Amino acid sequence: MYVYIAVRVESTGAGDAKPWHDGPMPHDTITLRSPGEGQVLDFLAPLALAFSEPLSEEELANEVKHLEADRVVGAFDGDQQVGTAGAYTFRLTVPGGEVGAAGITIVGVVPTHTRRGILRQMMTWLLAQARERGEPVAVLLASEAAIYQHFGYGLGTLDSRFEIEPLRATFAHPVETAGRFRFVDADEAARLFPVIYDAMRQGTPGVLARTEVLWRFGMAFDSESARAGNGPKSLVILEEDGVPLAYAIYRIKADFGPQGARHTLSAIEVIGVDADSEQAMWQWLFRIDLLGSVKNSRGPVPHPLQLQLTEPRRLGLTVNDGMWVRILDVDKALEARSYRGVGSLTFDLTDDFCPWNAGRWQITVPGGRAAATVAAVAADAAGATGAEPDLVLDVSALSAIYLGGFTFAELSRAGRVTELRPGGIAAADAMFATAIKPWNSTPF
């Protein structure tokens, strides 16, 4: 089914916002505009009303430093801006490779103008731009996941969260390190931490490449308003003979009571170049004095600590949705990743929001080192294709499977994939199998 979205577009001079589909223009007061020079900060104004959470001037100014003006769009009702949205330019690690991805961000519509299709218009603009830039995938972190499933996003990664008393964090097999732990400032962190992060990124699907700007003004950045009652951001590195091995970004909230100190350490990110280095960093964090609890959110699933601690139940680990993935171009996205074995898979795909994806597709995995090919299966004059489908699914299900976060069998049990050929799901899972579950730790 083709969905025609009529969008009236204006430009303030910095970049032209282009409609995604041509179609009859309805009578509407909403226009889309892209910011002119020096206007990006103004375009963020609707977010305070949309999220009921005003950002400080420092946070807004910092946000502008790593936003791309030509990837920001605003919705206007006359002269009043009532919505905003944007995207980052990312490289996304996928099984066996990486792909360009649009990181959808700063999406919000003011309460007086919700339920009027404004978000749909802005999403239309953003995804059209992503395709024009050759990005076959879009990703986002959802404040309300139900909204984005309407646009074909699938749950691509999971996040874990835990809180544990340090005395309960005993390791079954403690590691020893000859390295040195030291605190660094934001500038040194932006120089050294990427070495460790990129070593992890190469083999972990779902991880987003970080630019120097994102490191400096995102991960290493700190402000009073961003602390939410916690202490300042601490940046620690583990090195051995000058070689970076692991880092930790965390905050401590001080709490002195009648029974003494019970500070809370909130670990924002802990990453090592290998399992021993990362465990060494966790061991060091758990030994910090005066702590009553250690918390972590946006962790991987499964979390390595589940297999390292003697009492993993003490973590109280919970799992929630992480990064949502939207395939924009089926052939380009699927050809960017690797597969196992030799053979082919044919599936019928539905996609109401990006109709060019809808139809019958075939993945062929040849022998040797040749890359897989993905092609649409054309029908003849009688409607026959010559290749019967093994499966039927929609684009959100395929997007959930894309990074390896979920399997065809799991989606089938949830009623999201239909098997047409006996053994089709098992064959598909054998082809798409990945050794590492995807994970994204980058907030955007």
Mean pLDDT of the chain: 92
Q: How many helices (H) and strands (E) does the chain have?
A: 13, 22
Are 159 and 351 in contact, with CB atoms under 8 Å apart? no
Are 135 and 101 in contact, with CB atoms under 8 Å apart? yes
> What are the tens digits of pLDDT across the range 257-284?
898 999 999 999 999 999 999 999 999 9
- pLDDT beyond 80 at 17: no
- pLDDT beyond 50 at 147: yes
> What are the tens digits of pLDDT across the range 161-182?
999 999 999 999 999 999 999 9
Specify the pLDDT at position 383: 61
- pLDDT band for 213, please (50, 70, 90 cuts): very high
- pLDDT beyond 90 at 11: no
Specify the pLDDT at position 10: 39
What ranges do the domains of the chain cover?
A: 8-135, 160-319, 331-392+412-432
Beta pairing class for 291-299 and 158-164? antiparallel
- How far apart are alpha carbons 356 and 354 in whole angstroms? 6
Q: Which CATH class is domain 160-319?
A: alpha beta
Residue with tokens 């959808």: 104
Rounded to two decimals, what is the model's pTM? 0.91
Which class for 10: exposed (0-12), middle (13-18), buried (19 or more C-beta within 10 A)?
A: exposed
- How far apart are alpha carbons 84 and 256 in whole angstroms? 43
Domain 8-135, classified CATH 3.40.630.30, yes or no:
yes
> What are the tens digits of pLDDT across the range 24-56?
334 468 999 999 989 999 999 999 999 998 878
Specify the pLDDT at position 8: 38
- How far apart are alpha carbons 138 and 193 in whole angstroms? 26
> What are the tens digits of pLDDT across the range 70-109?
999 999 999 999 999 999 999 999 999 999 999 999 999 9
Which residues are bridge partners to 349 per DSSP? 359, 393
Specify the pLDDT at position 12: 39
Specify the pLDDT at position 370: 81
Specify the pLDDT at position 229: 85
Average pLDDT over residues 301-327: 98
- pLDDT beyond 50 at 19: no
The residue count of the chain comes to 444
> Three-state SS for 361?
strand
Domain 331-392+412-432, classified CATH 3.30.1050.10, yes or no:
yes
- pLDDT band for 63, please (50, 70, 90 cuts): confident
> What are the tens digits of pLDDT across the range 371-426?
999 999 987 666 666 789 999 999 999 999 999 999 999 999 999 999 999 999 99
- pLDDT beyond 70 at 299: yes
Both tokens assigned to 438: 């995807």
| CATH fold match for the domains 8-135 and 331-392+412-432 | no
- pLDDT beyond 90 at 121: yes
- How far apart are alpha carbons 194 and 299 in whole angstroms? 18
